[in-house]
Structure 1
Amino acid sequence: MNRNKEVLVTAFALFSLFFGAGNLILPPYLGFKSGEYWVLVAIGFSITAVLIPVLGIFAHAKLQGTMFDFAKKVSPVFSGIYCFVVYAIAISLPSPRTASVTHEMAIAPFFNTNALVTSSVYFILVFVFAINRNKILDLIGKFLTPLIGIILLSIIGVGLIASPFEVSQTLLKSPFSEGILEGYQTFDAIGAVVVGAVIVISLNLKNTKTYQEKKDLITKAGWVAGFGLIVIYAGLILSGSLFQSKFPLEATRTDVLIGLSKLTLGHIGSMVLSVLVALACFTTAVGIVTGTSDYVKGLFKGSQIAYVATAVIGCLIGILVGSYQVGFIIDIALPALMFIYPITIVLILLNILPEKYASKRVFRAVVFITFLFSIPDFLKHIIPLEKVQYLIDYIPLASYSLAWILPAVLMFVFLNVVNLKKDIVR
């Protein structure tokens, strides 16, 4: 395989591993609610759903290890706990959610089957792909992603041509920050540290690349995948905004996506959307189950039994949780995301920085302060707002669920200024 083709195949695989249930149902609904401020929403959404995940891929290109390497500068114990929490969240929420979305949007409209039946068949197929570990990159990158891309671009292209071009007023109080927070629901920052490791291990299995060659390949693939994601997200958000008048105000995420496909592709829209949903969701589930299994296999010194057992457990969890409705899974995911997402973002950003700006001391202090100031954001999603309002009132950006940002930045700047003064004194 020549160099450019390998970059494209890897980029396509990355795109598919990122582009799952949330990536499909969230942007059109955001566009529907954003109205005239769709550009602000698109920028905010792209920060957490594209920029941070792509930076996570760059960090993997630099580290070329496992997810454990992301947090080991804080401490090995913290890294172990962090990895357990992230993988537990990944196989318990975003992975099952892909089956739930597939049932609601691709199966239920055509077949009168139980959600448990759908999730069972779905995760049996996921297991088959996960067991054929060596072929995953090529199967997804060469075959599944191009089909996903063609369908998405068809919906967006026809939508832009056929839309009434009537942009209504926004339904959002804070378009930019709400775009950022909705990007959390894609799980893609978490996805970056999970599927980035899948890409690294896939390349290692081929055993044909030096460190620098793999770094260049993964970095270029990350840029291409990121560009593709921005184009698709912006297109879907704009389409949702242009067709806002076609939907009732109480429309749900799935209502908007299904309606948009019918408005753009006509009678075949439902069938085309079903294929798109099934493919997009499936590739993400495969990436999550494979990534989790890879990690556990590494903990057990390369044991294939550990790999298979983890894949079985991940698929069983997927079958059970995936039989619930999408809205329920999204609701229970939010508190967990408000807690783990800020830490993941900080770890990604610190890992791409040069060593002189991201020492162990900086890692520990910035991660700790991020954890501390994420607590109010976490609490207000599990207990009544009035009980934590006194905290929110005193923390900058807390009302936007971004209380951790300013303290983390200040801690990072402070420690690096202190280190710079020490170097000058020496």
Structure 2
Amino acid sequence: MIRTKKSTWLLAFALFSLFFGAGNLILPPLLGLEAGASWTAVALGFCLSAVFIPVLGIVAHSRLQGSLYDLAKPVSGSYSLLYCLVIYSISISLPSPRTASVSYEMGIAPLFEMPSWVFATIYFGLVFACVWFRSKILDWLGKILTPALLLLLFTLIGAVIFNLDWPVDHTPQADTLSKGLLEGYQTFDAIGSVVVGGVIIISVNLKFPQYDLAEKQKLIARAGFLAGLGLLTVYIGLILAGAKSTPFFPQEISRADLLIGITRQNLGATAQWILSLMVSLACFTTAVGIITGTSDFIKEQLGNSQRAYRITAFVACVIGVLVGQWRVDFIIAVAVPALMLVYPVTIVLILLNVLPKSWTSRTIFRIVVGTTMLFSLPDFLGSVGYPLSESMTSKIPLQAYSLGWFIPAAVAFGLSSILTRKKGVSEEG
């Protein structure tokens, strides 16, 4: 029992650090600042997409005991391969480089005169070293990096909560719930859950070969719940910190500047060093998780080639150095079209894999995923500057909130379930 508890907490800490990266740190405070006294509504939306769905993603992986490929395989093998290539390409091209950009802007530039490319080279050199020593990742993340990160986070959150008054009343942004939900997309946590879920499966197999399948499933599911609870606590704390700071900062302040301002205001002279450590730890662990997951996938596709694993890791780090030269806000803006295209499908795949197998089939997977992709197109086209006419989109429920895919996907699930049962379809999902 003691062994199981230790394993669960080790894995939960590792999961938290893999999830908690650049976006997770800089997005919540600005949401709180904009929402003001309505911060609870924006927190609810943010936590739905940035905590609830990612935890379900880990639960899905614990049941499958497989990789990202297995998550989409019920649609078809070719679709799953294409989906994996898109997800991993996005992951190493946007959220991974963003970790270096955030670390430099908030952690290094205020303290040291160092060119961004020099920092990014050192940063991804260390990431590459961690990815190279694959079997040690779980211990490094769970025993060392995450406890340090949590200590710094709770120091900041505690200082804000006890130093500042409760949020002042002001006119919040409209649609705070949907605003929080969509901003949760920018954390990449739903995508992160299906990427690092595979990393966790392999890490558990390496670290705990003595556990049987049922023990591994329970271990991962419990660790996912604990990691989700940690994320929930930190997000609510950071959103509240932003809300309580409404009298001190303008609404149009950048995400990075707001976090820097809140930290300096509440932690005094040591603020910049604390912020630098906090940002660096949060970003570094996420970059390790993304690049490890991508390298694991390529290795599996190429016959468990260790050479392919290391080449992939090297290429991903080079991309990180190059793209990491862009400013944080620019990377966030560039990511929007990609998120609008793949996030809804990822959420649907997670939900379908969490459902009992008796509720799903290959036919249901195909119909629901196809419907989701179709109704995600208006948001994607709008994000790249080619919006569909209002006469075409106004009749789609929730389209005004960029959630036009949700009700069609739910209806498609219901109708396809009825259809397959009537025809007596009995397929494996």
TM score, norm. by length of structure 2: 0.97
**Equivalent residue, structure 1, for 2:34:** 33
Contact 1:379 1:388 in 2 (8 A): no
- Cα separation, 2, equivalents of 1:377 and 1:303: 39
**Equivalent residue, structure 1, for 2:144:** 143
Paired residue type of 2:96: S
Query: Structure 1 segments of 4 or more deviating over 4 A?
Result: 420-424
Contact 1:97 1:322 in 2 (8 A): yes
**Equivalent residue, structure 2, for 1:76:** 77
- Cα separation, 1, equivalents of 2:88 and 2:424: 40
State the identity as a percent: 51
Paired residue type of 1:87: Y
CA deviations over 1:361-389 (Å, ceiling 9, x no partner): 1100000000000000101111154x543
Contact 2:97 2:321 in 1 (8 A): yes
Q: Residue 361 of structure 1 is aligned with which of 360, 363, 372?
A: 363
Equivalent positions of 1:1-400 (< 5 A) are 2-206=3-207, 207-383=209-385, 385=387, 387-400=388-401
CA deviations over 1:280-305 (Å, ceiling 9, x no partner): 00000000000000000001111100
- Structure 1 position 421, deviation (Å): 4.5
**Equivalent residue, structure 2, for 1:414:** 415
1:2 counterpart SS class: helix
- Cα separation, 2, equivalents of 1:388 and 1:274: 46
- Cα separation, 2, equivalents of 1:38 and 1:166: 9
- Cα separation, 2, equivalents of 1:187 and 1:195: 11
- Structure 1 position 148, deviation (Å): 0.6
Contact 1:163 1:243 in 2 (8 A): yes
- Cα separation, 1, equivalents of 2:46 and 2:105: 24
- Cα separation, 1, equivalents of 2:398 and 2:41: 17
Paired residue type of 2:51: V
CA deviations over 1:149-182 (Å, ceiling 9, x no partner): 0111111111111012242324311100000000
1:402 paired with 2:403, answer: yes
- Structure 1 position 114, deviation (Å): 1.5
- Cα separation, 2, equivalents of 1:306 and 1:249: 47
- Structure 1 position 56, deviation (Å): 0.2
- Structure 1 position 316, deviation (Å): 0.4
Paired residue type of 1:292: T
Paired residue type of 1:337: L
Aligned length: 423
Contact 1:42 1:179 in 2 (8 A): yes
- Structure 1 position 34, deviation (Å): 0.8
- Cα separation, 1, equivalents of 2:422 and 2:402: 34
Q: Which blocks of at least 5 consecutive residues in structure 2 are unaligned? A: none
- Cα separation, 2, equivalents of 1:254 and 1:389: 35
- Structure 1 position 423, deviation (Å): 5.9
Contact 2:36 2:172 in 1 (8 A): yes
- Cα separation, 2, equivalents of 1:26 and 1:128: 29
TM score, norm. by length of structure 1: 0.97
Paired residue type of 1:119: A
CA RMSD of aligned residues (A): 1.3
Change (3 A) 1:221 1:268: same
- Structure 1 position 7, deviation (Å): 0.3
Contact 2:152 2:274 in 1 (8 A): yes
CA deviations over 1:59-109 (Å, ceiling 9, x no partner): 000001111000110000000000000000000000000000000000110
CA deviations over 1:32-63 (Å, ceiling 9, x no partner): 11111111111100011000000000000000
1:380 counterpart SS class: helix
1:323 counterpart SS class: coil
Paired residue type of 1:401: S
Paired residue type of 1:349: L
- Structure 1 position 390, deviation (Å): 3.2
1:286 counterpart SS class: helix
Contact 1:376 1:388 in 2 (8 A): no
Paired residue type of 1:330: I
Contact 1:43 1:179 in 2 (8 A): yes
Contact 2:21 2:286 in 1 (8 A): yes
Q: Which blocks of at least 5 consecutive residues in structure 1 are unaligned? A: none
CA deviations over 1:225-249 (Å, ceiling 9, x no partner): 0000000000110110011111022
CA deviations over 1:378-423 (Å, ceiling 9, x no partner): 01111154x5433332211111111100000001011223344556
CA deviations over 1:205-242 (Å, ceiling 9, x no partner): 23222110100000000010000000000011011001
Paired residue type of 1:226: G
